[in-house]
Structure 1
Amino acid sequence: MNITILGGAGLMGAGIVRDLLSDRAIVPIETVRVCDASPERMDALKAELGDARIATFPLDVTDDSRLAEALAGADICINAVPTLLGHQMRIFEAALSARVPYVDLGGLGVFTVKQIAEHARFEAAGVTAVVGVGSDPGMSNVLCRAVADELDTIDRINLYWAAELEGPENPVLVPPYSISTVLAEYAQPSTQFLDGRHVECAPLTGTEEIELPAPWGRCSFMYSPHSEQLTVPLAEGIREKGIREFTWKLHLPHREHEAWVGLVKAGFGVNNDPVTVGGVSVKPLDVLSAVISRNIAENRDRIPEQQGSEIHFAIGRGTRGGKPATVRCEVVITPDPLYDGYVDAGTSMNASIAAQLILAQPKRPGVFAPESYFDVPSYMRELEKRHFKVRTTVED
């Protein structure tokens, strides 16, 4: 199989490359074409991994001819270009034109509805696209399908993600992923599915306290913009069961939470229109990103070793066998030597799993969210191969 990864030398893309070339591969990998705007990052990744199957390809995704060349001959396109850069629909359409199966990492649901609306065009062209295939969204959607399949009728499904860090206090603010994404999660309104319909909810609302085991402890969750709530309650096999509520809530590490709240209060993430400073027009997020990156670089010797753990869980309530039932499906990711070298093993490994499952099985043309495409048992087996702890419980 020949796989093209756009943004393949970025934080998430590099992790996807690692998993594809590992001994966990589901399908035989002949070539991984790493396409990126940074030749330096591509060369560094190739040198680090030392795998002859890596082919580097300098790419500006706004260059249509180069984009078409990057997709030529590919068995699948993995779009790991940061969603909030605004290139998602361009790449999505390029994959359709090239008749190449497509996956992306989602990105707060910014383009999800537009992409799903193109289902008929992709189906007619015989092209498969599955959108939002990281950990959240992606794996989280599959957890929701696992919950839904255990229930005969569904009242509600509530989806949660919590991250926590163990170790000395970090004197440096280190974002868990893209700064623009974190601030959007904190500053932008979200769409939730409440009382049988989609409604817009204000940022930092929907707060809910849940007691979790160590290392998380008592966590405060909040509504956040994501794509799962846009697709799961409308999915075939879920909507017919009468679902009236679906929510997605976030908890970032206790120590960093207040920093992000403070930045939002200061205006970051709310409006990124340029401001004039000393006669120069600059975008607030560009300045913030540059300052944080510089601070990390200048203080690397002060950044302590911290172990990150995350838990993804969906709780479904409804009926089973004519009786009230609660189903919980969770995936726990704790420190493991397998994840060395990954910035975010959860997101990277899940994108690799999704792409390979599409290649390993007969393809279904059209545009799908993960809960409408993947077989739950096959997906869960791949998670366990990567040392993710999967558990489903049913309480009647």
Structure 2
Amino acid sequence: MPTPRRALFAAAVALVLPLSACGSGGGGGGSTDASGKVEGNITFETWNLRANFTPYFRGLIADFEKKYPGTHVKWIDQPAEGYADKLSADAAGGTLPDVVNVSPDLVAPLARAGLAMDLDKAAATYRSEYLPGAWASHQIPGMSGTYAFPWYLNTGPLFYNKALFTKAGLNPDQPPKTYGELFADALQMARESDGKVATLANVPTIEDFGRYGVPLMNRQGTGFAFNNAKAVELLTKYKELYDAKALDAQALTATPESAGKKFLTGAVAMNPGSALDLDNFRKNAPGLYRNIGITDQITSTGHVNMYVMGVMVNSRTKHTPAAVAFAHFVTDAQNQMSFARKVAIFPSTAGSLNDPYFTKEDGTDETRVRIAAATSLKGAVNYTPVLFSDQMKTALGNEVAKALQGKESPKEALDNAVKAADRLLQQG
């Protein structure tokens, strides 16, 4: 994994895995019986965690081996760059570790290739320990089963610049709560600043369509559906914002980092983020920090977007009881809570978000953000379809750009994006 923030707020690289190299696409090919004695040597692979969390993982492994004498866990940590390619090569070569740190889009091709164990069969007894939305995040459309234990979660609020709201004649203590209010406030901000201050810095992504209430795939998982009337409505609104300079002129090529810089300099009035951003504001933009407003993500569904990491069990493991037990151990409530106290992430286990660490105010903005995020995560969903690859994200972004520039109508752009995504899905 990249750094925790990057892993959770940036899209993971799409994994291309020839299904014929690894077996059928119908689920795990090994034993899903985890009821035997927990023993044997297993390997555990993480994603760029060694640099910052070596003591934590060494302690975790030592605790597991103490609990289960006769087990030995070999920890492997891979760099952020090329992680997906490494998984693909290991899968094709039969050297995939027993337990693997994955994101939903990385587990999907492994599950379809029969290399990810179905935990609804192997670990159903543990399902109630996790938040329903988190458990469901590693389910694959068109397949039955769940293919990774949910590990840590993240989400974040919207930050806004109260000074810019005041200057535009908007109430700094009443930020927009609905899309209608957001669009109206953005247009007013652009008018009052003569187009010098945009409210938003990013074009709509697949997650934005999900938050707006657009169905993203058909129920069978065989095709995408984000070109319906509601999706066209959202993209049409963004086109209106773009034309009025309420959406930043550089939004077509913006990255989360560049959008964040725009927010720091006062060129943009609102930006999504996390508690990690507050220290950056304090150090690098004290004027902004004094005027920072914090509000919830805007949705039409009542559910915010959730980013999730998982722990997969290799269906070909020779030590199913040990591999399942260790994957569960890594992600159980006690160990997730311990990890959450070391870095700004949130446990996926049911009840953990009720801990005073996530509920008790202490007067600091950091705690306020942490509490707000924890509260919203209880009903959060992962809007990014697990089958929506990096190439599909690029195709959607290109078509959205054409619509905003007036080269295509919003309907034409979304139709083309769905066609491209469906074509890539079939090439699978």
> What is the TM-score when the length of structure 2 is the normalising length?
0.24
More helix by share: 2
More strand by share: 1
Which structure has the larger Rg?
2
> What is the TM-score when the length of structure 1 is the normalising length?
0.26
